[in-house]
Structures are given as structure tokens and as C-alpha cells.
Amino acid sequence: MPIRRVQEAPAPLGIRHGDIVKVMSGRSKGKTGKVLTVDPAKRRVTVEHANIIKKHTRANPSKNVRGGILEKEGPIHVSNVMLLCPGCGKHTRAGHTTLPDGTKTRVCRRCNTTFEH
């Protein structure tokens, strides 16, 4: 992938690597999985087992890559996924709060469970 220079820091997505999310629309609608990668610049994420795409690869022995069709997770726009709350089990938006000790954290807007990372 080409390296792209980002001029301004992109707005945070509210979804982070390792979060459990639910796919709300698109081909993998209804699936839940762990966020594997986050691309704030493109506002896209990849979710475990969701939006599987077939990637055709050419064999490259020097990189130990076998040719053929590889199945992997494709990127999904963040607007099509929502966080799943570990506390109430529902899809939610993350709110932000500051704990008494001063650390900032994300909380479930439904049940106020904190998402700790």
C-alpha cells in the first residue's frame, strides 16, 4: 500500500482496535465481531468474519506467498457498524467521561458501563 501523508489529524471514529462491533447494514448485516483494523483517514474498519472478500493473489516465492484465492475481511465504513456494549449487550454509541482519577474513558450511553482498554 502506498504511504499517504495525512494533512490533518482525522476525527476519532469512536471505534478502536479490539472493540466488539455489530454490522448494521451491508452484506454482513447483523454480524458481530472484533475490530481488526481501523483506518481513521478513510473512516473504515475491518471486522472479524464480516464482509469477507476473495482476494486473488499471485504466487511470490520470495515473500513465501502462495498464489490463489485468499479470503479475508474487507473494510466496512464506520457508519455501518456500531459498538456492542459488554455491559448491556446492546449496540450503542460511546460517550466520553472522565473518571475521578482524571483518566478519560468511553462509556456506554445506555448503561454507563465503561469500555476499558
Return the percent helix, strand and coil in the chain, to nearest 5.
Answer: 5, 45, 50
In the complex, minimum distance from the CB of residue 82 to Zn ion, in angstroms, rounded to a whole number: 12
* 85, 93 contact by CB (below 8 A): no
In the complex, minimum distance from the CB of residue 86 to Zn ion, in angstroms, rounded to a whole number: 8
Q: Mask of contacts with Zn ion, 91-110, x by CB under 5 A? A: -----------------x-x
The residue assigned the cell 473504515 is 44
In the complex, minimum distance from the CB of residue 31 to Zn ion, in angstroms, rounded to a whole number: 19
Chosen residue from 78, 85, 94, 107 binding Zn ion by CB under 5 A: 85
CB within 8 Å of 43: residues ≥ 6 apart = 10, 13, 77, 78, 79
Taking the least distance from each CB to Zn ion, the nearer of 53 and 88 is 88
* 44, 15 contact by CB (below 8 A): no
Q: Among 74, 70, 42, 40, which residue's Cα sits nearest to residue 57?
A: 70
Is residue 87 a contact point for Zn ion (CB under 5 A)?
yes
| The one segment of 29-37, 48-56, 64-72, 84-92 that binds Zn ion by CB under 5 A | 84-92
Binding site for Zn ion (CB under 5 A): 85, 87-88, 108, 110-111, 113
